[in-house]
Amino acid sequence: RMYKRQMMCRRDIDVHNVPFLAIYEFLIPPEEEKLKQKQLVALLEKLVSKEWPTAKLFLYGSCANSFGVSKSDIDVCLAIEEADVDKSKVIMKLADILQSDNLQNVQALTRARVPIVKLMDPVTGISCDICINNLLAVVNTKLLRDYAHIDPRLRQLAFIIKHWAKSRGVNETYHGTLSSYAYVLMCIHYLQMRRPAILPCLQEMETTYSVTVDDVNCAYFDQVETLGDFGHHNRETIAQLVWGFFYYWAYGHDYANAVISVRTGSIISKREKDWTRRIGNDRHLICIEDPFETSHDLGRVVDKHSIKVLREEFERAAEIMQFDPNPCIKLFEPY
Ligand code: CTP
Ligand code: MG
């Protein structure tokens, strides 16, 4: 009898696939936005090459990892080969160059944890942040993009979770909640852990791509087009996955002991990472291991107040998915 009831629930929830997919489609950036981004990058390349002829520009973050929704800002990394560049000096110089070429709102933020130049291009209307030599971000962007190509449900799930997090105000690291990058890793990990698995663990497979950046070796299997329809043994739908994701973070995750790890495709223990107590400002109240900088906990921004906010939001979302006849409205209600 129990089994029958559960089956009913699973099928009931599938009526929400249509609205969830409609939200996903609505959030996808239109082709012309991508063209405008390319146009802006080409302009930046031209300006940068005058001052630094051998430098390269890389896109990273949501404009390049395929998890970007419509009207996002773009993240650019200026890679300069000289050893020990003084990043603040480069930032100041870059701001000068951009300022004198009609770009608007040019701001040099030299004191930020990651120093950046911010700007707005009046021609395309796109805002952009440029950082210097942050190549690990470029590499983790590629990892996320490669995961997105394996199964379409990852991109769908991540769009919906990011949209939920932005609507509910829990996507603000300066308020102690999680970055978009952290949410995407949570989605990848969730799909790696499904049985049958929807995503493989690329870092545990044969190495086909390997670079060393800032003394970190980044190696994984990147020939994802050869994986075929990897997740086809698992027929879970987007509505079931959204439900399961929230249920996991509301009631299933062991906050006291567990670290989620995309690198291993499994849960590892806080003890093993020595993340059991507060060190400096890292409280490790929700633990998400960075796939390459494995000493980075992406949950380190979360404090004893914001962990409560987060967990209450996960519980609220799980309740809505379970009981609300119209979850797509309630779930994304502004906070
Ligand atoms: N990043 C990182 N480590 C972090 C946070 C971010 O390496 N702790 C890098 C990642 O490469 C990430 C990029 O910075 O893709 C941008 O981060 P974020 O703004 O969180 O993600 P976006 O994908 O750009 O999301 P949004 O659409 O909200 O801009
Ligand atoms: Mg971004």
Amino acid symbol at 14: D
State whether residue 216 is helix, strand or coil. strand
Q: Are 132 and 15 in the same domain?
A: no
What's residue 322's pLDDT?
94
Of 102, 136, 170, which closes a domain? 136
Q: Are 317 and 236 in the same domain?
A: yes
Asked if residue 313 belongs to a domain, the reply is yes
Tell me, in angstroms, the distance from the centre of ligand 1 to residue 199's CA.
21
Q: Are 61 and 183 in the same domain?
A: no
pLDDT greater than 70 at residue 103: yes
Tell me, in angstroms, the distance from the centre of ligand 2 to residue 210's CA.
25
CATH of the domain at 41: 3.30.460.10
What's residue 3's pLDDT?
56
Domain containing 106 equals 31-136
| In 2-126, alpha helices (H) | 2-13, 17-27, 31-51, 87-99
**C-alpha closest to that of 233 among 271, 194, 260:** 194
CA distances from 295 to 55, 98, 205, 270 (A): 29, 35, 21, 12
CATH of the domain at 227: 1.10.1410.10
3-state SS, 265-314, equals CEEEEHHHHCCCCCECCECCCCEEECCCCCCCECCCCCCCCHHHHHHHHH
Contact 60, 77 (CB under 8 A): yes
- Beta carbon of 177 within 6 Å of any ligand 1 atom: no
Angle between helix 238-247 and 17-27 (nearest 10): 90
Buried/exposed code over 263-286 (b: 16+ C-beta within 10 A; e: otherwise): bbbeebebeebebeeeeeebbbbb
> Considering only CA atoms, which residue is closest to atom 16 of ligand 1?
61
Q: Which residue is it, tokens 């951009």?
A: 98
Phi/psi of residue 137, nearest 5 degrees: -65, -35
- CA gap 295, 237 in Å, rounded: 34
> Considering only CA atoms, which residue is closest to atom 23 of ligand 1?
62
3-state SS, 99-159, equals HCCCCEEEEEECCCCCCEEEEECCCCCCEEEEEECCHHHHHHHHHHHHHHCCCHHHHHHHH
- CA gap 147, 200 in Å, rounded: 9
Percent of the chain at pLDDT exceeding 70: 96
Q: Angle CA(315)–CA(264)–CA(282) in degrees, nearest 5?
A: 60
- Beta carbon of 127 within 6 Å of any ligand 1 atom: no
Tell me, in angstroms, the distance from the centre of ligand 2 to residue 173's CA.
12
- Beta carbon of 237 within 6 Å of any ligand 1 atom: no
Domains of the chain: total? 2
- Beta carbon of 68 within 6 Å of any ligand 1 atom: yes
- Beta carbon of 129 within 6 Å of any ligand 1 atom: no
**Sign of the Cα pseudo-torsion (332, 59, 208, 226, in order):** positive
Sheet of 258-261, strands arranged across: 266-269, 258-261, 287-289
Tell me, in angstroms, the distance from the centre of ligand 2 to residue 311's CA.
24
pLDDT greater than 70 at residue 317: yes
Tell me, in angstroms, the distance from the centre of ligand 1 to residue 183's CA.
10
What's residue 198's pLDDT?
98
Residue range 130-169, pLDDT digits in tens? 999 999 999 999 999 999 999 999 999 999 999 999 999 9
- CA gap 163, 328 in Å, rounded: 11
**Sign of the Cα pseudo-torsion (69, 70, 72, 76, in order):** positive
Q: Are 18 and 50 in the same domain?
A: no
Tell me the average pLDDT across 224-250.
97
- Beta carbon of 61 within 6 Å of any ligand 1 atom: yes
Tell me, in angstroms, the distance from the centre of ligand 1 to residue 107's CA.
20
Chain Cα centroid distance, residue 220: 18
Asked if residue 335 belongs to a domain, the reply is no
The residue to mutate among 74, 164, 181, having the most atoms of ligand 1 within 8 angstroms of its beta carbon, is 181
- Beta carbon of 41 within 6 Å of any ligand 1 atom: no
Of 136, 158, 174, which closes a domain? 136
Q: Are 8 and 69 in the same domain?
A: no
Residue range 186-210, pLDDT digits in tens? 999 999 999 999 999 999 999 999 9
CA distances from 67 to 74, 146, 156 (A): 12, 11, 9
Q: Are 186 and 229 in the same domain?
A: yes
- Beta carbon of 66 within 6 Å of any ligand 1 atom: no
281: Cβ contacts below 8 Å, ≥ 6 apart: 300
Of 136, 154, 171, which closes a domain? 136
The minimum-distance atom of ligand 1 relative to the CA of 182 is: 20
Q: Are 123 and 58 in the same domain?
A: yes
Tell me the average pLDDT across 162-180.
98
Asked if residue 53 belongs to a domain, the reply is yes
Residue range 41-76, pLDDT digits in tens? 999 999 999 999 999 999 999 999 999 999 999 999
ipTM above 0.95, yes or no: yes
- Beta carbon of 75 within 6 Å of any ligand 1 atom: yes
Task: Answer whether the bond into residue 291 is a cis peptide, omega within 30°.
Answer: no
- Beta carbon of 137 within 6 Å of any ligand 1 atom: yes
- CA gap 130, 102 in Å, rounded: 16
- Beta carbon of 133 within 6 Å of any ligand 1 atom: no
Contact 251, 32 (CB under 8 A): no
